[in-house]
Structure 1
Amino acid sequence: MNDYIALVVLAVTYIGIGVLSMSIITGKWF
């Protein structure tokens, strides 16, 4: 169960970083 939670946290973190990076690069917030 802990592995599943860690996987979800990692996925959310990577998505968040991706969105943040896109926002900085394009200068837009989605």
Structure 2
Amino acid sequence: MKLPHDSFGGTVSAGLALTLGCYLLLRYWLVT
């Protein structure tokens, strides 16, 4: 069973989105 490229790309995108979301939330919390 080989790993589909889309699966890997989706995982990376999800991780990137999660990191960006946490960064924005932390920045907003610090500013407020």
TM-score by length of 1: 0.86
| Count of equivalent residues | 27
> What residue is the counterpart of 1:8 in the other structure?
12
Show structure 2 runs of 5+ residues with no match.
Answer: none
TM-score (norm 2): 0.81
Calculate the aligned-residue CA RMSD, in Å: 0.3
Segments ≥4 residues shifted beyond 3 Å: none
Q: Does 1 or 2 have the higher relative contact order (CA < 8 Å, sep 6+)?
A: 1
Where does the alignment leave 5 or more consecutive residues of structure 1 unmatched? none
Larger Cα Rg: Structure 1 or Structure 2?
2
Identity rate of aligned residues, in percent? 7
